[in-house]
Amino acid sequence: MYAASVGMGALRTSFQMLFDAVKSVQEENTMFQHLLGEIKSTLDSLQPLIKDIEKYNSKEGLQNYAIQMEEGAKLVQKCSKVGVWRKHKYANELHQLNKSLRRVFDVLKLQGVRDARETLVSLRNIETELSRIEESLKIKNIQQTVVKCSSAVPEPPSVTVGLDFPLKELKMKLLKDEKVSMLVLTAAGGCGKTTLAKMFCQDQEVKDTFKNNIFFVNISKKPNLDLIVHELYQRKGSELPAFENEVMAANWLQQFLKESRQNPLLFVLDDVWSGSESLLEKFDQFKFSNYKILVTSRFAFPRFGSPYHLARLNDEDAMALFHYSASLEDMSSYTYEDLSRKIIKRCKGCPLAIALVGRSLRGQPIEIWQKRVVEWCKGSSILDSDKDLLACLQSSLDALDKEKAIIKECFLDLGSFPEDQRIAAAALIDMWAELYGLDEEILTIANLHELTVRSLANLVVTRHEREADGYYTEHFITQHDMLRELAIHEASQDPIEHRKRLFINICGDKLPKWWTEQKYQAIKARLLSISTDGDFSAKWPNMQVPKAEVLVLNFQTKNYALPEFVEKMDKLKVLILNNYGSLPAELDNFELLGSLPNLKRIRLERISIPSISNLKQLKSLQKISFFMCDIGQGLVQILDALPNLVELNIDYCHDLVQLPANLCDLGHLKKLSITNCHKLSALPADIGKLVNLEVLRLRSCAELLELPRSIRNLKVLNFLDIADCFSVEELPEDIGAMCSMEKINVSQCSRLKELPASVMDLQQLNEVICDEETKTLWEPFLPFLTNIHIKVIKEDINLNWLNKLPP
């Protein structure tokens, strides 16, 4: 009690110092006179409430706050010496200080002195702000770290919605499973992670288990282990000397954990950022009974075990939260309910978005509600009307520092694709290879995993196998619509003609006014994406995009014509056409591509391949991919125009019965992938002419009966994949002549009953992927193939992702 009393006296003295400094500088300095007057007014209001805190004997570090108040007085005095050229900078800082003081006043006025603890948390906000100003005045770009270890379990909001089931699952995973010591609770910003963690701490079963040994620690971007450990010991009523380095802090943390192991112990590490793995390791280094750690983060930290992904709210819970936030209990009219449903649909189950939008509409006339819905229907983003939500979501991007700049660029590129549609990883592989030089496919997949770990996207693999073999056709990205809108918002900050990426979304025939009026002579974007819906029928206006390297065209109509301005996009390297309609679309103007000297990659999805008799040679084209296309006879003419093709991918093209003979004339082809084409029954007899072929993938071609004998001539082929080719009964007799073969996948080839003796000649073969049944076929040859390693995999087809997509 004595220490608290002394601390309180010091706080009042320091507060008076700040008050006097503001008054003095205001009288002497006319530059900041108005702002200092506002701060003085705030301090006048705050002063009697500060005095009332003396009645409470807090151990929350009042002396520390007093020191910060003194520093605040010094900082205000420094403002008297600021030159005119720096007026704007410090005016902003003083404005932020006043806002911080006003927040303290509002909390004290609202809660009175009944809750001294919340008051002190608010005072800590002053400490943060003053420290930030101090660093700014020293012209250092060092972000102040704030870590708070609550001396009591924090209370969740008075009303929570949709978290009862996740709470039950958290308890099952963390309390019931003895093997789990640390659990990462992950989701995008604003999804309710911290609220759920607070509910977990306040749950009666949890409190009965851990009693007074529950520690709730807020972690910032740059965690300060020194401060964390001091806070922990202060909670225990102990004082520690200052640490000379982090090693000493880590040693004291070890001591703390050893002393606490006699009783159940729970740590909640809230808002942990990427790059904090070493901090998590320090907390997780000891394993003892009933020691549990719950981590909340936008990042999954997979190295610490399987995370718990917090899902968005369902429609019923979303409506309940919106009703509460907008105070709709007394508004039961059909009009309000109808508008509420439209607003909820736009918020996409994001609790923060629902709460913020609901609060912004609380008490507003019906016309304001209608205006908001009309704006959204016209394509306006919810982020344009709610800056708090925008700031929250932007914080997910702030973590992408210079070392992760490429990840942010990749995130922004996801705005190229329509809302509520899965994004093929194969399309991103093509885009990022040319935009960012990610020539190895695994680099793109690694970036997608990085985005998933950061809760900025979700990588879904529809077929899981233990061994990755470069087959990414069944990898897809899904994304919360709020995050997609964030990508579009961030990419749209510059003027249209100067944007790095330009996203154009067209409803019906309503083209942007700037485009129809030809407002800009040239647009500098490297990435251009144009999305149209099923009602689009307009003619394309001209557009000059001389620097565009990637063009993404998304559409839903049965017939689609390439814009005529495409033939003037001389720097275009990647063309991606995505038809999101139910059937393959007829494509016109394909011949325009013959005018593009740098076009390297084409990806067509749900396209009926046109027959073009006079298509110019696309000499620079290296890769072309067909996904769910009608191949027809058009493939013959297209292949004739691709003399330098290196990679050909054909996937889920159900009308493909046989490959055209001119395929074998592609002398530069290195990778041929024909997958999920169930009617394909035979390969061209002369496939052996593809002497530069390195990868031949024929996965899931159910009616393929055999491999041509000429395959023996593929001397540089290093990977043959015939997984799920159920009808193949034998391998070519001379397969042993394929002297460069290093890897073969024969899993689920159920009719394959024996192997030819020549497999003994595959001396470079070091990996066989198979199932339990086909494994037995290889066992007699193991004494002759000394370098071989057999990997037995179990197929795991994941169809859950289909539930997240529209019909």
Q: What is the dihedral of CA 321, 324, 325, 327, to 10 degrees?
A: 150
Residue 656 · residue 673 · CB < 8 Å? no
Q: How far apart are CA 611 and CA 635, in angstroms?
A: 8
Residue 284 · residue 293 · CB < 8 Å? yes
Q: How far apart are CA 807 and CA 798, in angstroms?
A: 17
Name which residue leads in pLDDT, 136 or 532.
Answer: 532
The pLDDT value recorded for residue 46 is 67
Q: How far apart are CA 718 and CA 346, in angstroms?
A: 50
Name which residue leads in pLDDT, 420 or 187.
Answer: 187
**Burial track 467-506 (b if 16+ CB lie within 10 A, e otherwise):** eebebbbbbbbbbbbbbbbbbbbbbbeeebeebebbbebb
Q: Is the pLDDT of residue 561 over 70?
A: yes
Query: What are the tokens at 420?
Result: 């509520």
148 pLDDT band, cuts 50/70/90, is very low
The three-class DSSP label of residue 717 is coil
Cα 254 to Cα 246, 281, 290, 471, distances in angstroms: 12, 11, 17, 45
pLDDT digits 0-9 by tens, 344-400:
887 778 887 787 778 777 888 888 888 878 876 666 666 665 565 666 566 556 656
The pLDDT value recorded for residue 29 is 72
Q: Is the pLDDT of residue 127 over 60?
A: no
The pLDDT value recorded for residue 803 is 37
Q: Is the pLDDT of residue 434 over 70?
A: yes
pTM (two decimals): 0.63
535 pLDDT band, cuts 50/70/90, is confident
Q: Is the pLDDT of residue 403 over 70?
A: no
Q: Is the pLDDT of residue 796 over 70?
A: no
Other beta carbons within 10 angstroms of residue 782's beta carbon come to 11
Tokens 């000059």 — which residue? 544
Query: What are the tokens at 404?
Result: 């992760």
The pLDDT value recorded for residue 4 is 41
Query: Which amino acid, 467?
Result: E
Cα 75 to Cα 43, 141, 456, distances in angstroms: 16, 17, 39
User: How far, rounded to the nearest angstrom, does the alpha carbon of residue 461 sit from its chain's CA centroid?
Assistant: 16
Of 481, 429, 475, the closest CA to residue 623 belongs to 429
Residue 583 · residue 558 · CB < 8 Å? yes
Query: What are the tokens at 68?
Result: 């910060």
Query: What are the tokens at 132?
Result: 């930030």
Query: Long-range contacts made by residues 512-518, C-beta under 8 angstroms, separation at least 24?
Result: 515/541, 515/543, 516/541, 518/542
What is the DSSP-derived secondary structure letter of residue 69?
H
Cα 693 to Cα 429, 666, 668, 715, distances in angstroms: 21, 10, 8, 8
How many DSSP H helices and E strands does the chain contain?
24, 27
Q: How far apart are CA 385 and CA 356, in angstroms?
A: 10
| 167 Cβ contact list (under 8 Å, min separation 6) | 196, 199, 200, 203
Helix (H) or strand (E) holding 43: helix 33-52
The pLDDT value recorded for residue 116 is 37
The pLDDT value recorded for residue 44 is 74
**DSSP, residue by residue, 243-289:** PSSHHHHHHHHHHHHHHHTTS-EEEEEESPPTT-HHHHHHHHS---T
Q: Is the sign of the CA dihedral 357, 358, 362, 368 positive or negative?
A: positive
The pLDDT value recorded for residue 67 is 60
Other beta carbons within 10 angstroms of residue 802's beta carbon come to 11
Q: How far apart are CA 37 and CA 690, in angstroms?
A: 82
Tokens 């977990």 — which residue? 200
The pLDDT value recorded for residue 805 is 36
Tokens 């985005």 — which residue? 451
Within the chain, what is the greatest distance between any pair of CA atoms?
99
**DSSP, residue by residue, 363-432:** T--HHHHHHHHHHHHTT--HHHH-HHHHHHHHHHHHT--GGGHHHHHHHHHGGGS-TT--EEHHHHHHHH
Name which residue leads in pLDDT, 111 or 621.
Answer: 621
The pLDDT value recorded for residue 767 is 92
Residue 593 · residue 618 · CB < 8 Å? yes
Strand order in the sheet with 559-561: 559-561, 585-588, 607-608
Average of per-residue pLDDT values in the chain: 81
Q: Is the pLDDT of residue 108 over 80?
A: no
| 755 Cβ contact list (under 8 Å, min separation 6) | 731, 777, 778, 781
Supply the Cα-derived Rg of the chain in whole angstroms: 32
What is the DSSP-derived secondary structure letter of residue 613?
T
570 pLDDT band, cuts 50/70/90, is very high
* Interval 554-561 mean pLDDT: 91
Residue 785 · residue 758 · CB < 8 Å? no
138 pLDDT band, cuts 50/70/90, is very low
First-residue to last-residue Cα distance in the chain: 66
Query: Which amino acid, 633?
Result: Q
69 pLDDT band, cuts 50/70/90, is low
The pLDDT value recorded for residue 178 is 82
Most confident of 6-10, 155-159, 494-498: 494-498
134 pLDDT band, cuts 50/70/90, is very low
91 pLDDT band, cuts 50/70/90, is low
Of 649, 189, 605, the closest CA to residue 423 belongs to 605
Query: What are the tokens at 82?
Result: 């600021």
231 pLDDT band, cuts 50/70/90, is confident
The pLDDT value recorded for residue 121 is 41
pLDDT digits 0-9 by tens, 665-721:
999 999 999 999 999 999 999 999 999 999 999 999 999 999 999 999 999 999 999
Q: Identify the weakest region by mean pLDDT among 84-98, 214-228, 238-252, 348-362.
A: 84-98
The pLDDT value recorded for residue 249 is 85
Of 208, 252, 246, the closest CA to residue 230 belongs to 252
The pLDDT value recorded for residue 332 is 59
The pLDDT value recorded for residue 358 is 80
The pLDDT value recorded for residue 122 is 43
Q: How far apart are CA 669 and CA 644, in angstroms?
A: 8
143 pLDDT band, cuts 50/70/90, is very low
Cα 772 to Cα 704, 750, 775, distances in angstroms: 22, 10, 5
401 pLDDT band, cuts 50/70/90, is low
106 pLDDT band, cuts 50/70/90, is low
Residue 676 · residue 649 · CB < 8 Å? no
